[in-house]
Amino acid sequence: MFPRRPVALMALLMISSSLQAAPAPAITDETKIPPYTLPDPLVCADGTPVREVATWRSKRRPELLELFAANEYGRTPAGRPAGMHWQVTSLDRAALGGKATRKEITIWFSENEKPDSPRMHLLIYQPNGVSAPPPVFLGLNFFGNHTVHSDPAIALARPFTFYEVDRYRPAAPGTPANSEQRGVHASKWQIEAVIARGYATATAWCNDLCRDHVDGLKDPAGVAALFSTGGAEERAADAWGAMGIWAWGLSRALDYLESDRELDAKRVAVHGFSRLGKAADWAAAQDERFAMLISNESGCGGAALSKRLYGETVAIINGKFPHWFAKSFRTYNDNEAALPMDQHQLLALIAPRPLYVASADGDQWSDPRGEFLGAKGAEPVYGLFGKKGLGVSEMPALDTSVGETIGYHNRTGKHDMTGYDWARYLDFADRHLNRPTP
Ligand code: GTR
């Protein structure tokens, strides 16, 4: 029987007020976390257990990808756009004191090359004097390519045109990014160290793809406009947001790398820090051309379990960043128990490729233990492939790197990507990406 009208009306009012309700406060006391149950990565939605790689590949993996697209990150258009093309805009074979070659490439996402045509600027440093095309670390940066190294030859990023959410606040809207910012994020990129170990590094600014702003999806020069996505509120419930677009951009950067015979596109480690770590996780989950994933303090919506209510929650992240995830993700605001999947299953989608998850002890907002448990929860799928994952059952001591095909450490210090982190990633890459592709 249908409820009588006043009851139905009251229910509607309750639903709409719960949609607007302030998020429940974050829990930061381990003893206050409510009990939760994680869905099994190796049991299909219809109850079929996954006992073979073939079942994982044909059934469970597509099923999980669909759950993440429909309920969290939104849907990604397949492949590259028809008119996509690129142009090398600078090339210097004597960069970094002769140790590296620096390249800049503009990747246009349509046939147009007008001032507001969607595009991405890729910056690459590759080691000189190597005997084979080197493996590549690929990641997006927060503030523009010119911030990853103080090299004065790096082209400045296009000016900001409006405030960027909680990250970079120019004195007034419209204040351009300026050369004072050159190299401000150099410590997060460690380019000399990467080159010295025989790897190339490639990066693009996330804002080239989608401005990190509540109105970012409306930017006429952004990728959202190219696909007529609509604004953060106007788009379809399962349409992508900034996170999906950033992940897509990483795959488009890989398209370019595949065309560059001086680099080994079969050995690309995609990496990301924080919000850009979430994007890297989603990129590697979807695009199996990425040979490795490094997820640095990716937290909520990244490597940390959502159902474990510690630190940032789904309601908090959706409230603060309404443009990051699909609108459908808001269904789970303060309702994480209803999620049909969780982030350990996202990490499981990387299997059998090497995966490194890293936390920082001073970054409780990202939930270090939740990130460790995310990695741990992916392990059974690595086992299915005959790979040993973390190989430990408890979180390791601070500043201790563990694991085989899944690496993990919890660094002392704040939310950051440091020389310590990079040294661990380079060691991990040496173990897993050390053989040149024939
Ligand atoms: C925070 C956000 C986190 C993380 C971080 C960052 O404000 O709550 O999820 O992404 O920003 O990107 O630095």
Ligand 1 centroid, distance to 25 Cα (angstroms):
16
Beta carbon of 275 within 6 Å of any ligand 1 atom: yes
Query: How many Å lie between the centroid of ligand 1 and the Cα of residue 351?
Result: 26
Q: Which positions ≥6 away from 313 have C-beta within 8 Å? A: 23, 24, 26, 300, 306, 334, 336
- Residue 348: CB within 6 Å of ligand 1? no
Q: What is the pLDDT of residue 178?
A: 43
Q: Ligand 1 centre from 274 Cα, in Å? A: 6
Q: Is the CB of 188 under 6 A from ligand 1?
A: no
Tens of pLDDT, residue by residue over 200-258, are: 999 999 999 999 888 999 998 999 999 999 999 999 999 999 999 999 999 999 999 99
Contact call for residues 242 and 210 (beta carbons, < 8 A): yes
Distance CA 219, CA 242 (A): 11
CA of 290 to the centre of ligand 1 (A): 24
Cβ of 304 below 6 Å from ligand 1: no
Q: Judge whether 342 and 38 are in contact, CB under 8 Å.
A: yes
Q: Is 317 in the pocket of ligand 1 (CB under 6 A)?
A: yes
CA separation, residue 87 to residues 117, 124, 224 (Å): 14, 13, 22
Atom in ligand 1 nearest the alpha carbon of residue 301: 9
Single-letter amino acid, residue 354: P
Residues of the chain with pLDDT under 70: 1-20, 159-180, 438
* Atom 13 of ligand 1: nearest residue by CA position: 274
Q: Kindly give the residue spans of alpha helices, DSSP state H, lying in 28-154.
A: 53-55, 61-68
Please say whether the beta carbons of 287 and 251 come within 8 A.
Answer: yes
Annotate 115-127 with b (16+ C-beta within 10 A) or e (fewer): eebbbbbbbbbbb
